[in-house]
Every structure is written in C-alpha cells, then in structure tokens.
Chains A and B, each alone.
Chain A
Amino acid sequence: MNWSRFKDACTTYLFIVPAVLLFSVFSLYPFLKVFQLSVFEWDGIARSMQFVGLENFRTGLFHDTSWWISMRNAGVVTLLALTLQNGLALALAMIVDRDIRGKNFYRVVFYLPPVLSGIVVGLVWNWIFDGSHGLLNHALAAMGLERWARAWLAEPETALFSVAVIHMWKGFGWGFVILLAGLQAIPRELNEAAYVDGASEWQIFRKITVPLMLPVFFLVSILTVLGTMQIYDIIASTTNGGPGYHTEVPITRILAAMVGSSRFGYACSLGVLFGVILLAVSMVQLRLSKWSQRFS
C-alpha cells in the first residue's frame, strides 16, 4: 500500500473515530457491564465482588414482591395511556385532519406539554393536586363537592390514578402529532372516491383509515409502552413511589436497589429483567403489526 492510499484511509477513519470512541465507552461498555454485574453481589464501593450466579435473578423473579408491584403499577399506567391517552390523541387527530381552521394552532398547543420536562409537569400538578391548598380541592369546594376533596397524590386509592392523569396530560400531544402526520399521509383521493361511491363515514373509517393507519397505530403503541413503563421523572417529582408502594415503578425500584440499599448487582439484574420484558413486549407488538397487515 502506498503512502497516499494509507493517508487517505486514515483521514476517512478520523471522521468516525469520535463517534466510535464515545459509543464504545458510554454505550457498549455499560451495556456489557450491566450483564456482568448482574451475576455479582456488590455494594458499589468494595474492591471485591462476590459471584452469585443467577441468584439475583431468582430473588427478583420470585422473592421481591415490591418489584412486581412496581411492574403492575407501571402496567396500569401503561394500559390507561394506551387506551385513554391514545384514544384522545386519535380523536383529536381525526378532527384536526379535516379541513378546519386553526390546524396549526391546535398542533402547537397540544404539543406544549410534551415539550416540558417531567419534573416541571410533576411539580405543577403536585401543586394542583395538593391536599390542603390545591386548586382541584378548591374547585371541588366551589362546586359544593367538599367531600370529594382529598390529598390526591398522598392517598393510596387515588395516587396511582392521579399520576396516570399527569402522565397522560403530558403525553397525548405527542401521539396526536404522529397520528396526525399518519392521517395526512393518506391520499385524499381515496376518501373522495369512497365518498362519491356512497360509502358512509363509518365505512370510510373502517375500510380506509384503519387499514392504512395500522402501522402507525402499532408504532405509537410500541413507543407508548416503552415510554410509559420507564416512567420516572413524574414519579420523582410527585409521589416518589409513595404512599407505601402504591406508585412505585420499575425505575424507582432499580434506583432503590442501587442508591438505597447499595446492591449494585441486584439493581443490574432487575435492569436486565426489565429490559428483556420490554423487548419481549415490543417483539410481540411488532409480530402483531406484521400479522394484522396481512389482512388488509
């Protein structure tokens, strides 16, 4: 190989070296390290780690009730987000997709909550849901419904549901924007042709909109599941897992194992477990997406 060819190859590699370097140190290494740590018992400080095999996974799977409570809590919020939040997003997208005024205004306003951080959203709603001075309780009192007033985020019966409301408030605008983009990609001529042929509104929805939107529906639901199961910022700024374990979610449990009880190995095994579950759920959804598209 002559000198100029060699120099040429070197300059090419200079383009990708920074990216590869950062990727190896901050993505690849932690990724592998999580698997390694998950089979050790380690407090995060000591020089020695104790190899425990799959013991951590056994504990996580069979003996840690708080872990499964946290999975159930996140699951409940996810189900609510999949149905209520995405349903609202779809309804709004279908209205705004029509030829009505203020399309851009609605898009800008609906996407405002997703732009804010989970911390900000959580703290503002914390103040609205406040037990003694919160806006919601004042509003209820003004309507003569004092007996409904309560510390929404601090009582076991309402805490998880209140967190879900906050999460959906923050999230629906994001689904709205993606669904609207999907709807607008449907060729207008299809609707027109169906309409001229005498199809009803429902038939058009059923035979044109739904089949063409299926991939988008699945994409939105996969991203909703991934995003909602990993909910953390809103929890941290409102209930921090309380009262009791009523709003614990997987990330707060992993953090509790890591920072709270200094069991780094166990925290990693929970992370691996959680990652595998999320991957499995997305795989099932992808399969369903492929399968359902065969019928349309």
Chain B
Amino acid sequence: MVPAIQLNKPLVMPARPAQGVQWQRWLYRIKRWVLLAFAHAFCLSIAAGCVFPLAWMVSSSLKTQSTIFSDMSLWVSRPHWGNYYEAWTRGHFGQFFFNSLFYTLAVVVGVIAISSLAAYAFSRLKFPGKNILFILLISTMMIPIPGSFIALYVLLVKLDLINTRLGYILPQVNGGLALGIFLLKTFFDKLPQDLEDAARIDGCNKFQVYWNVALPLAKPALAVLVVFNALAVWNEYLLAMLVLSDRSLMPLQRGLMVFQGAHLTQYPLLMAGIAISIIPIVTLYFLMQRYIVAGITAGALKM
C-alpha cells in the first residue's frame, strides 16, 4: 500500500521502490496518480459548487421574463442585455451603485486616516493613559454586543443623523477602527525606529514623520485594511436597513431587498441587479486576493 503521505509537502520520496524492480515502480506511479486524481476530482467538484450558483445567476440575468421559467440552459443563446440597462435605470440600481461606491470610499478613507493616526500614536508616542485606552479601543473587537444596534439607532435619531449619509458612514468608520488600529500598531511596532529618528533630526515634526515616513512604509498593512473595509461596507445590510429609508440614499444591498420586495418574481431584473452589485467587489477580490488571505490569517491567527 502506498501511503497517502506521498502527496504531502514535498518529501524525499523514500517510498519509491529501488531501481530495477520495474513492475513495483509502475504500481507506485499508478497509485500516486489515482490518489491525485481523487484529490483533484473532490476539490474541483467543490469548486464547481462554488461557481455554479453565480454562473446560474448571470445566465438568469440574460433571460427574459417569459423564458426564464422554461429555459433551463446555463448558456443563453440570445442574451437579453437590455435587462442590465433596465435594472440600472428603472430598477434604480445605478443610483444604488453610486451610493454604495460613495459610502465605501468615505468609510475606507475615514478608517485609514483615523486608525493610522491613532495606531502611530499608540506605537511610537508617549502619553499618559496609553495602555488603558488601547485595550479599551481593541476590546470592541472581542466583545459581542448584538443589541447595540438598537442603542445606535436611538442615538442617531437623537443626533438627527437618521436617514442621512453621515449617519450611515460614521458608525461604520467606528466599526473599522478596532481592526485598523490593531493591525497598524503591530505593523508600526515592527518597523525600525532609525528612519524616523533620521527624519526627526532633519527637522520633521511628529505629524510630518508619520505622514512622510511611517505611513508610506505601512502600505502592505494599509492594503489589507482597504480591502477588508471595502468588503465590509459594500456588503453591509443591517445598518442600512435601520438608518436609511430614502431610496436616493440606499446602498446596493438595501436596494436589492427593496427591489425584491416590490417586484417579487422579476427574476431577470433582480439577477441583473445582483450581477451589477457583485462586479466591483469580485474584481477587487481578484486583484487583491493575496492581501485578503494575508489579512484573514493575520487577523485570526495572531489573536
């Protein structure tokens, strides 16, 4: 029996039979090949299961209201691209799209600016109350408070921020701070101090050192944060449902639900809307996927 370990991290191949025993070598090769084939068949079928619902969604978005319930083919021979135009204009997905884009940009810029400033101070500067403040800020990452959206809602009503763009943006900037400060502080801690000392001697003040030296060096960590926060904001739903009731302010996720509520069975248009809503995020994912993997593992395994 050829142990499955031969598929493992490259080994020195000790199991390979000695030269000359021809049939044993063949047997070894065949078994190895069969194991590899099984491994790939399993992984590929799961991968197909991941992609298929999305392919089905795109294919549905190109059918018409009359063919979608009867035509079950995945490949649409006469694609109805007009669905996208109709979803964009009549379904208001154009508006939702730009709202989502605006919220995402605003929150990402806010999180990066505020958390990098704070992380730099926590890593490099001395001030009283530093440790306790840091623990307090990070603890929001650890403690689950499932009911806090009720109080948040009450607060936004009080501040007159309900149904405003600002009322949707500020809580999400705050939501991104804990991870941002945590990641950037650990990153700044590992940077050599010498560069900053040199800049200080050359006459830079604290802010200039942060802006001209520390921040450019932190680009990898910043990229992780950009991707993470962009995904979180683009996919956010609960807060949008509670805070925004004007259609002109709604982001895509909220818009999708409103559209579905109003046109229950217009599947082609709904699927076109979904496709519109995932194109940017999937593109971002493909471009930046190595930062995402780095981010999840850094965030999860170092906790």
**Which residues of A line the B interface, CB within 8 A?**
9, 11-13, 15-16, 18-20, 22-23, 25-31, 33-34, 37-38, 44, 88, 91-92, 95-102, 105-113, 115-120, 123-125, 127-128, 132-133, 135, 138, 169, 173-174, 177-178, 181-182, 185, 188, 191-192, 195-196, 200-201, 204, 216, 219-220, 223, 226, 230, 232-233, 236-237, 250-251, 254, 258-259, 264, 267-268, 270-272, 274-275, 278-279, 282
Contact = CB atoms under 8 A, between A and B. Distances in A.
Nearest to A195: B5
A188 B236 CA distance: 40
Give the residue among B53, B205, B296 with the most A Cβ atoms within 10 A. Answer: B53
A67 B113 CA distance: 41
26 contacts: A12-B125, A12-B127, A16-B122, A19-B117, A20-B137, A23-B140, A26-B175, A30-B148, A34-B145, A91-B42, A102-B43, A111-B285, A111-B289, A112-B285, A119-B256, A120-B277, A128-B53, A178-B301, A181-B301, A191-B9, A196-B14, A237-B257, A254-B150, A268-B151, A271-B145, A278-B144
A37 B297 contact: no
B44 to A, nearest CB: 9
For chain B, which range describes its interface: under 10, 10 to 19, 20 to 34, or 35 or more residues?
35 or more
Interface string B58-80: 00100000001100100000000
Interface SS, A side: helix
A29 B155 contact: yes
B201 interface: no
A287 B66 CA distance: 58
B14 A96 contact: no
A259 B48 CA distance: 40
Contacts of A120: 235, 253, 256, 274, 277-278
B12 interface: yes
Contacts of A109: 47, 50-51
Contacts, number: 280
Interface string B86-115: 000000000000000000000000000111
